[in-house]
A and B are shown apart, each in its own frame.
Chain A
């Protein structure tokens, strides 16, 4: 199976990453439209404890102005109010419309939209190749409903999976290396 990734996309992603690192502010352009999923308070800063800037109701149309981590700076179309909301709160335009021609699996998401933003800021970019679709079809062999239920066991592979397993000490050290610490959070609502 060949992995074919159009050069334009690779270049776009590299440019996008350069853009992230070169900007002094962490805010980035991630244009697009959407609606608000629920009644929401728009905040003055991307933080749950920042002061309120405005509020808006479920279903309100908005434009996405910028992104910072998992917060979006939005403008409510009706009121022109602006503020920060959690990205989970936005339903993007174009969500679950039927895909046209070849949209590779990795075409959506933050870095991809960043790459698109980067290429348009620099005056244009290539569209994505439609060649990926044929590759994708071959690439999902084995993970259809029919193939799953007809699958023959590969017990040796499970033994390999065992061997690649981590030990608790190693997992804990690896977490500590990234500054991850265990928190007491309750499952109860």
Chain B
């Protein structure tokens, strides 16, 4: 009876906000406390308008589940030196953020698509296609800083809570409360839907502004992120590689306008900010053997 109630109750509206019944949730090996994830949902339903504080262990567990699905969709690039490089750059930046002690992990995804993702708890992804657009480490830093700020500000977590509120009723939650695996799957599914649909515009502009500040806190020239936006502005969503990015983010020119207004004059007095060209160019060259 339970699986039927599960399937019926969770097949609400469009999208993939339903679990795959019977699939082993292998993250149990990592000793995640799955029933606690279910309690998040109950709290979220009760507190209709508030953002529910989720303790860090649960946040990381949820993010880990989302990361597993994303990596199931597209694998990591099989180049260990490049992955380690991005991790060293990314962690240095994250150490200057307001949540330096999260278990920050970074990965380059093996795809021509131009995009970047962040999952709660500190999982950050950039595609090979996006790295190929960049000219120096300050531009990589700008993008990583933008994604780090999504995690710092818990943008995805808040969006997942909104989805839970609109898609789950108290009755449904009550019938599922002991089916931890299904509930965890449901929350992770909501996370994947956010990658497909995008965050709020205000979240993206916030991450741009705060990302520029964060890049400067890490010693990088904060012009890196706007430079990437300039590269994006030269393309549009009719190109396959850019289709998902442009359907889930505000237009690059709007982001540039907003960022310019926020940054104007802010960084003029900082000295010796770096772009770091050499080692980035060496690393990017690994993306094109013989190119």
The interface residues of chain B, by DSSP majority, are classed as: helix
CA gap between A4 and B71 in the complex, in Å: 25
Interface residues on B, range: 35 or more
Number of interface residues of A (CB under 8 A): 75
Kindly name the residue among B65, B103, B218 whose own CB sees the greatest number of chain A CB atoms within 10 A: B218
Report whether B217 and A184 are in contact in the complex, using a CB–CB cutoff of 8 Å: yes
CB contact between A153 and one of B69, B104, B221, B259 (< 8 Å): that residue: B69
The answer to whether A48 and B104 have CB atoms under 8 Å apart is: no
Closest to B128 in A: A139
Residues of chain A contacted by B265 (CB below 8 angstroms):
48
CA–CA, A84 to B1, complex, Å?
Answer: 71
B67-84 to A contact mask, C-beta < 8 Å, 1/0: 111111111100010011
Question: Judging by beta carbons under 8 Å apart, are A98 and B238 in contact?
Answer: yes
For the residues of A in contact with B, the DSSP-based class is loop
Q: Is the CB of B226 within 8 A of A88?
A: yes
- CB-contacts of A50-96 with B (<8 A): 69-70, 86-89, 91-92, 94-96
Please determine whether B197 and A145 come into contact, CB atoms closer than 8 angstroms.
Answer: yes
CB-based nearest B residue for A111: B135
Q: Interface code A102-138, partner B: CB below 8 Å = 1, 0 otherwise? A: 0101101111000000000000000000000101110
- Taking beta carbons and an 8 Å cutoff, which residues of B are in contact with A? 15-16, 20, 23, 26-27, 29, 64-65, 67-76, 80, 83-84, 87-92, 95-96, 103-107, 109, 111-115, 123, 127, 129, 132-133, 135, 137, 188-189, 192-193, 195-197, 209-210, 213, 216-221, 223, 226-227, 230-231, 233-236, 238-244, 247, 251-253, 256-257, 259-263, 265-268, 270, 272, 274-276, 279, 288-289, 291
Q: Provide 24 A-B residue pairs closer than 8 Å at the C-beta atoms, listed in order of the A residue.
A: A10-B291, A37-B257, A89-B260, A91-B233, A92-B233, A108-B234, A109-B135, A136-B240, A141-B74, A145-B247, A148-B192, A148-B196, A150-B16, A152-B20, A152-B72, A153-B68, A155-B27, A155-B29, A157-B76, A158-B64, A167-B91, A183-B270, A185-B216, A185-B217
